Structure 1
Amino acid sequence: MSQSITREAALRIALAARELGDLSVGELVSALVSRLELPLTEVKLTSMTVADLQVLLQGDEVVETDIPKDRLKQAVRLLWGEGLVHSDLPPLAGYSDGDMPGSIRVACASNREDLLDGHFGSCERFLVYQVSPAEVRLIGVRPTLEADHAEDRNVARAALIDDCQIVYVQSIGGPATAKVVRAGVHPVKVAGGTALATLAQLQQALQHPPPWLARIMGVEASSLARFAANFAAEDA
């Protein structure tokens, strides 16, 4: 799928829309496309000014908006990519293949901070963690904005996390579940809370994985290993 909105640009737009209050992400995207045209990229977003944003929000005949000037300025800074470290996004950690032996990759459907508060089909982003029994690293934040403009949004959302083995969600529908499983990802429903609290429980399970988790990890479950050992002893 060709990118009409880069992932970094999607993240900036989502944060700017939140700063602007009642304006939805889709409305801001439409306004930006009318001025900047597709594809929306980081370079194009850096050309926006406060005056440009005022015109987009209210039209050419009205320059002043009801949105306070300081919020307009902050929205423009976010579109430029400034101040993202002060947003509600948790900090990222570096990761290279092989850094964490015995680890798996996990996506968390989230709307705010590191909370597990998202429905698969409507969350603003997926937080992507590398998880081993000894360590948890947040290695990526993947906005869903571009996926929501795809012909099949659930397939596009599944493609965003198809390098993960598990996705934690507050809720997910049946058709979406089938598409996530088809992408090779195991969906798990949770009641909420923080991603780190849920992943701490996963860390414990990784030490002695139940059959479903062992299958995901590509190893033999400890319970099955004991059964196999007993069977071999009897056979001898």
Structure 2
Amino acid sequence: MTEPRRERSTEAFFGRRRGKPLTDLQSQRMRDLLPRLRLDLDTAPSSDLKTLFAAPVDLVRLEIGFGGGEHLLHRIEENPRTGFIGVEPFVNGMAKFLRAVAETPGDRIRVYEDDATRVLDWLPDASIDHIDLLYPDPWPKPRHFKRRFVNPGNLDRFARVLKPGGAFNFASDIDTYIDWTLSHCDRHAAFEWLATRPVDWHTPYAGWPGTRYEEKAIREGRKPCYLRFRRV
């Protein structure tokens, strides 16, 4: 008898889930720290997301696909009155981040290690001040474009959870994805592109620390692009 086909549990905007075997310390952090910081999507969120955090915060910021967490850790240290939600389905990236978080206060951090669309659908309306989508998987082959995270459905999700005037930052070194994102955001009534001069395309965000992926892209001759959008 043929086993019935199972529906996908995620929308599969990310690629592989695992890389090299974790070190003993990374595995320990995943066991000990992840359950404490992980969002519980089975429980309805408070209408005020600031209550997610043990420390008092004024703003809530979401980073989707934070990799090893270099940018997220920098922003946490830079913004002591902001609470952060980080989503990263790649196990090795989450483990690296948690190892670093163990050395810093974790009272302004919550994480999720699966599909970011689940978090977006869980969040209350107009609850997020800022969304970062930095160097997402470009899915460069046309037959894979449907797996790019920027699409009409996810922009609808961003529009719902962002507060009016909230920010959406997108960075990439892949020309086709940059054009793709500009085109999709231009067609979406909720987003305004904030560039006013040609140089704005290639001007890093304020306080930008750079990432290892970005350094690699520059070495290989690809020019980073930083797009800024506002929720209107």
Task: Normalising by structure 2, report the TM-score.
Answer: 0.32
- Larger helix share, 1 or 2: 1
Query: Higher relative contact order at CA 8 Å, sep ≥6: structure 1 or structure 2?
Result: 2
